[in-house]
Amino acid sequence: MPKIKIAIADDYSIFRDGLKVGFIRDKNLDVIFEVSNGEELLSKLEEVKPEVILMDLKMPVMDGIEAIQIIRKKYGDEIKILVLTMYDDVKFIIHLMENGANGYLLKNADPIEIRQAIYAAHETGYYFNDIVTKALLKKLTLKGNSKPSFNQNIEFSERELDVLKMICDEKTNAEIGTELFLSPRSVEGIRMRIIEKTGVRNTAGLVMFAVKNGMI
């Protein structure tokens, strides 16, 4: 398989070096550039586009939260973004997953998990781990939380529901197409239609929508 092109955005060079060392053994991962803040990242994206960005949240000049918002507006879901931070606050996790992140990991995560997250985000569009799941469940049980941003009165066709459930099972467009006798392009079209209906930003948002509405 072609190498997955990765960018690292973190203001600590020691941490960036540590990540790169962890990727050396995996011939399918290629770090094409690294930056120390969100502004540098946006500038670099004008020259070369990675497939997956490992993004810290707290950085000088421009933090990761602002950078994610700008990247999503400019590039859509073309580039997958994995948040890699020390912040494990529920509000941070839910906010970022609902607003464009494809996964959320803590910096003390095992290097194997980080590699798994890269593969998952690249292949299926999201990576959900225990941190995200627990944050989501905690928010669902909190009383008086903010009004959900999802439209609750949505009607799905049977085919759309099939695709949504398979997305939640971490199946790729090709795998879904094989099971439903559709081309990967047709599956992608259905996925985009579901995203438009639900008002979420990406595939990770679709999974969160399904969990919140008891669909999986």
Can you list the residues of the chain whose pLDDT is less than 70? 1, 140-152, 216
Q: pLDDT at position 148, please? A: 44
pLDDT digits (tens, 9 = 90+) for 111-169: 999 999 999 999 999 999 988 888 887 776 665 454 444 455 788 898 999 999 899 88
User: What is the rounded CA–CA span in Å between residue 209 and residue 216?
Assistant: 10
Q: pLDDT at position 216, please? A: 67
User: What is the rounded CA–CA span in Å between residue 122 and residue 196?
Assistant: 21
Q: Is 114 helix (H, G, I), strand (E, B) or coil?
A: helix
Q: pLDDT at position 215, please? A: 75
Q: What is the DSSP letter of 127?
A: B
4-140: CATH number? 3.40.50.2300
Q: pLDDT at position 205, please? A: 84
Choices 3.30.70.1560, 3.40.50.2000, 1.10.10.10, 3.40.350.10: CATH for 158-212 = 1.10.10.10
Give residue limits of the domains in the chain: 4-140, 158-212
